[in-house]
Amino acid sequence: MRELINEFIDMKAVEAGAALNTLKAYRNDLEQYAKGILPLLVQNVKKEDIEDYLKKLKDSGCRPKTLSRKISALREFYKFLQSEQIMADNPATRLRTPKIGKSLPLFLTPKEIKKICEVSRTKHKNKFSIMRMCVMIKLMYSSGLRVSELVSLSENAINYDQLQILIYGKGSKERIVPITKEVKSEIFEYLERRGEFLGSRKSKWMFPSVRSLSGHMTRDGFFKNLKKMALEAGIACEKVHPHVLRHSFATKLVNKNADLRSIQKMLGHENIVTTEIYTHITTEKLANEVRKNHPLMQKKKNEEKEKKRKKYISRKNAIAAIWKVLEIYLFR
């Protein structure tokens, strides 16, 4: 089984050009599957066997989105085995994908970002580590970079005169992302301390790390630090994720009526449909504003209040009438 998984991963890397994180997810899902169907071999598995495995995952609390990803991995894996003539049929083809409800992206406010950095500065002694994280957080929050793009940012990627970053995104596609003057000044301050941190060492990375093999801060490292800082600041766990910073950037632009095509280019979305999810946030916000402030809604609220008042008076009068009858006939 391990050899087949390795061959599949190699094929995805070479022929499909899959990203490292995608390959890692494939490997984790398939290795878990191989253990889950023991003592069966993958070549002997039927659709019912896979469904039993997925049911166990679901019963153990596996979320629909995760199940959907695992099913997709199994379809691709068995499609590969079929193409290699290891299997005649693909037992994963007709698996039902769980329905995933659309959820609006979460976002952080500028006050929450400020609080995260301020609390961390007061609590931790390693000032450089906190400064590096704060610059990374604010850069991501103000530019909408993907976390993979942020951590692998080179020292020469930023054009400080034009306030721009040259990004090599998914599929090695280039795009230009603007930065603010405020972030530029914080980066300058950080770069001075960065030189002290590196000492005689040299690094081409904007955010170097002596612990990682890549030489720069890793995605996992950034996520762990961000989560720790946010929790210390009392920010809700569900809002603490690198992607939330990217979502926050897009949400701010949509709420300021920025052109959707421009937002798509800055985020590096291949399809504008992906960008349009942020318009739902604005639509919901507008709906709430209408319900709260529109004159017709206010009139409706007033009418409902008047109905309740009349109903209360009617009940009060009815009770008073009953007491009057009781006084006449029972307490004379």
Please list the active-site residues. 146, 170, 243, 246, 269, 278
312 HSE (CA, 13 A, CB side)? 6
* CA distances for 14 relative to 19, 78, 276, angstroms: 10, 18, 32
Q: Which long-range contacts (CB under 8 A, 24 or more apart) does 64-69 make?
A: 64/98, 64/99, 64/100, 65/100, 67/98, 68/97, 68/98, 68/100, 69/25, 69/29
Residues in a beta bridge with 159: 164
Do residues 277 and 250 touch, judged by C-beta distance below 8 A?
no
- Continuous segment of H or E residues that includes residue 164: strand 164-168
Residue 181 has a CB neighbour count (10 Å cut-off) of 9
